[in-house]
Chain A
Amino acid sequence: MTGALERSALLDAPAIARAIDRIASDIVTLAGGTERLVLVGIQRRGVELADRIGARIRDRHGAAVEHGALDITLYRDDLNEIGPRPVIGETRLPRTLDGRIVVIVDDVLFTGRTIRAALDQIADFGRPARIGLAVLIDRGGRELPIQADIVGERVPAGPHDRVDVLLVEVDGRDAVELVRRPPP
């Protein structure tokens, strides 16, 4: 990679914690309570975020929320182009999704292709009453007609920029950073 990369901080740890707080309470509103709610995190950092959101809802509402994990690798539409990604994460969902309110949780919403794949995959597991989408960062740049119901922070990023979400569980620290990159 040539050219200097300009890295700037977007969110620090307290800002991420506040965003997760807000997302948690918006999810409960969207689902009309916690009874039918299932949080489904997308591998890898979406899973950690879903865990944190679930813990926050439990603290505030005293009800444990079911959560699951989804690895969408096998549902991607670009296996031919990118080649297989070496390690496929775990997919773990509640026994039935029928009639549940599923909220997909991911770190960054960009082209929308990951969410398209997640919707296809969830449809193979059952027929939820409703599927919602909550993301920590919406960076724009959609290639499909997909929007999030709940957004932690909107970040206008160029098509070649990178938005890095770092989480303690995976990366050792909490931060969201924007890496500006010139077009190739």
Chain B
Amino acid sequence: MTEPLGKDLLGLEPLSAEQIRLILDTAEPFKEVSERAIKKVPTLRGKTIVNLFFESSTRTRISFEFAEKRLSADTVNVAAQDSSVSKGETLVDTARNLEAMRIDMVVIRHGASGAARFLAERIQSNVINAGDGKHEHPTQGLLDLLTIRDKLGRVRGSKVCICGDILHSRVARSNIWGLLKLGAEVAVCGPYSLLPRGIEELGVTIFRRIEEAIEWADVLNVLRLQLERMNAGFIPSLREYYRVFGVTLERLERAPRELLILHPGPMNRGVEIDSRVADGPHSVILHQVTNGVAVRMAVLYLLAGGRPEQAEAAKRGREGAE
């Protein structure tokens, strides 16, 4: 029996392989819901969900919103721009206010690593981390895993190289945890200045040259160069980055096998990825976006039910029901 997910989804690091598989398996039937003429099921009717975004986001916020609406939850979007108040204090106040409004779940994106956990420890509602600083972005990690499983038939044994700005990337961290737990071989590739120190201790291989990564991998997960975080001189120039690390058609044509190309978006075409690759036959970038809604529906569904004390009471009341 798989251990339930518990109250919150804060990252993939605390989850077991079984729990990750449970989410991926649960996502499968939700894919079909989005293909129906009426793309809606009444599962979360009456639940109120707040999407609390302290950082701007288009794709993730819309994806969560679709997932929530397709499960019939009521949603409120709060786009809180950076405040001058220190982040800890802001969050405590926000948390108290939300609780006072009797909500059921919070989806939070925040620039500070650990913000989701901070919130989760202070409110009774379920908390889903939609990206916290450089820490984790678990639903992105899950949708990447689901996409790899869809396309390769398995995650175990596949060779996945995460390329680019690993240092600033919560997507990289969630990917590394999820992939390792499910038995993939994981590598990273990027300029030395964009690799976190000690990353090899997690059990990942480091490639210095993109050509080596392409020769080794089944899957490239090409990360966005986070231009807004790049004012500290991590790379000489964007053109230089593309010349040395860009995932180009010419480089892919020399690969010994067909590669799967993932990108969490939004893309910087001509910086980390060649337009011809992004739009080419190896790209599964739009499949990732489709899977994102299914994975988020699965997470909402798994967290929303399962209040253990109610489950016990209900079981006593109706043993032997259908």
Q: Is the CB of A89 within 8 A of B304?
A: no
Q: Across the interface, do A86 and B26 meet the contact criterion of CB distance under 8 Å? A: yes
Asked if A80 is at the interface (CB within 8 A of a chain B CB), the reply is: yes
- Evaluate whether A87 and B25 lie within 8 angstroms (CB atoms) in the complex, with A79-B304, A80-B307, A81-B314 already known: yes
Nearest chain B CB to A32 CB, angstrom units: 27
Q: Is B113 an interface residue (CB 8 A)?
A: no
Give the residues in chain B near A82, CB-CB below 8 Å.
305, 311, 314-315
Query: Is the CB of B157 closer than 8 A to any CB of chain A?
Result: no
> Is A12 on the interface with B (CB-CB < 8 A)?
no
Q: A91 near B319 (CB under 8 angstroms)? A: no
- Which of B4, B38, B311 is in CB contact (< 8 Å) with A81? B311
Q: Name the CB-closest residue of A to B297.
A: A74
> Which of these binds chain B: A47-55, A59-67, A154-162, A169-177?
A154-162
Known: A80-B310, A81-B310, A88-B29. A108 touches B322 (CB 8 A): yes
Is B320 a contact partner of A181 (Cβ separation < 8 A)? yes
B229 located at the interface, meaning its Cβ lies under 8 Å from any Cβ of chain A in the complex: no
In angstroms, Cα B316 to Cα A181, docked, is 13
With an 8 Å Cβ cutoff, the count of chain A residues facing the other chain is 33
Is B2's CB within 8 Å of the partner chain A? yes
The answer to whether A74 and B304 touch (CB under 8 A), given A83-B311, A87-B26, A159-B320, is: no
Question: Which 5 pairs across A and B sit closest by C-beta, in order of nearness?
Answer: A83-B306, A81-B314, A84-B305, A74-B41, A88-B29
What are 22 A-B contacts with C-beta separation under 8 Å?
A: A74-B33, A76-B43, A79-B304, A80-B307, A81-B314, A82-B305, A82-B311, A82-B315, A83-B305, A83-B306, A83-B308, A83-B311, A86-B26, A90-B29, A108-B322, A113-B322, A114-B322, A125-B38, A160-B319, A160-B320, A162-B320, A184-B319
List residues of chain A with CB under 8 Å of any chain B CB.
Answer: 71, 74-76, 78-84, 86-92, 108, 110-111, 113-114, 120-121, 124-125, 159-162, 181, 184
